[in-house]
A and B are shown apart, each in its own frame.
Chain A
Amino acid sequence: MISQELKTVILKQLNLDDFDLQGETIAPQVPGWDSLNHINIILAVEQKFGIKFKSRELLQLKCVGDLQKLVDSKLGK
Chain B
Amino acid sequence: MQYVWDLLKYNPSDPLIFSTSLFLFLFVFFLLFYNLFGRNKMVRLGLLIVFSLYFYYKSAGYYAGILVVSAIVNFFFAKFIASTENFTWKRIHLALAVILNIGILGYFKYTNFIVQIFAEMSSSRFEPLSIFLPIGISFYTFKSLNYVFDVYLDNMEPTNSFRDFCVYVFFFPNLLMGPIDRAADFLPQIQKELFLSKEDLGKATLLIIAGLFKKVVVADYIGLNFVDRIFDYPLRYTGVENLLAIYGYALQIYCDFSGYTDMAIGIALFLGFKLMDNFNAPFKATSIADFWRRWHISLSKWLLDYLFKPMQFSMRTLRIWANVIALFITFVICGFWHGGAWNFIIWGALHGFMMSVGLLIQKPKQSLYKLLRINDTKFLRFFQAIITFHLIAASFLIFRTNDFQIIKDMFSQIFYFFHAAVFLQFAEKLPIIFGLMTLGFALHFMPVKLENGIKKIFTSFPWFAQALILVVVIWIAAQFKSADITPFIYFQF
Interface residues of A (CB under 8 A from B): 34-36, 38-40, 42-43, 53, 55-56, 58-60
Q: How far is the CA of A59 from the CA of B304 in the complex (A)?
A: 11
The residue from B153, B305, B317 contacting A56, defined by CB atoms under 8 A apart: B153
Q: Indicate if the CB atoms of B309 and A43 lie closer than 8 Å.
A: no
Q: Indicate if the CB atoms of A60 and B322 lie closer than 8 Å.
A: no
> B193 an interface residue at 8 Å Cβ cutoff?
no
Q: How far is the CA of A38 from the CA of B154 in the complex (A)?
A: 21
Question: A39 — which chain B residues lie within 8 A by C-beta?
Answer: 312-313, 316, 319, 322-323
Question: Known interface pairs A35-B304, A60-B155. Does A55 touch B313 (Cβ–Cβ under 8 Å)?
Answer: yes
- B288 → A minimal CB distance (Å): 12
Interface residues of B (CB under 8 A from A): 153-155, 289, 304-305, 308-310, 312-314, 316-317, 319, 322-323, 359
Question: Known interface pairs A36-B359, A39-B319, A39-B322. Does A59 touch B313 (Cβ–Cβ under 8 Å)?
Answer: yes
Q: How far is the CA of A60 from the CA of B154 in the complex (A)?
A: 7
Question: Known interface pairs A43-B316, A55-B313. Does A35 touch B155 (Cβ–Cβ under 8 Å)?
Answer: no
Interface centre among A38, A39, A42 (most CB of B within 10 A): A39
Q: How far is the CA of A37 from the CA of B359 in the complex (A)?
A: 10
The residue from B309, B316, B317, B319 contacting A35, defined by CB atoms under 8 A apart: B309
Give me the 6 closest cross-chain CB pairs, A-B, nearest first. A55-B313, A58-B313, A39-B316, A36-B323, A55-B314, A59-B153
Q: How far is the CA of A34 from the CA of B292 in the complex (A)?
A: 13
Question: B359 — which chain A residues lie within 8 A by C-beta?
Answer: 36
Q: Which single residue of chain B is at the shortest CB-CB distance from A36?
A: B323
Q: How far is the CA of A74 from the CA of B309 in the complex (A)?
A: 21
Q: How far is the CA of A55 from the CA of B309 in the complex (A)?
A: 9
Q: Indicate if the CB atoms of A43 and B310 lie closer than 8 Å.
A: no
Interface centre among B155, B309, B312, B313 (most CB of A within 10 A): B313
Q: Which single residue of chain A is at the shortest CB-CB distance from B152?
A: A56
Question: A42 — which chain B residues lie within 8 A by C-beta?
Answer: 313, 316
- B366 → A minimal CB distance (Å): 10
Question: A38 — which chain B residues lie within 8 A by C-beta?
Answer: 312
20 pairs from A and B in contact (CB 8 Å cutoff): A35-B308, A35-B312, A36-B289, A36-B359, A39-B313, A39-B316, A39-B319, A39-B322, A39-B323, A43-B317, A53-B313, A55-B310, A55-B314, A58-B309, A59-B153, A59-B309, A59-B310, A60-B153, A60-B154, A60-B155
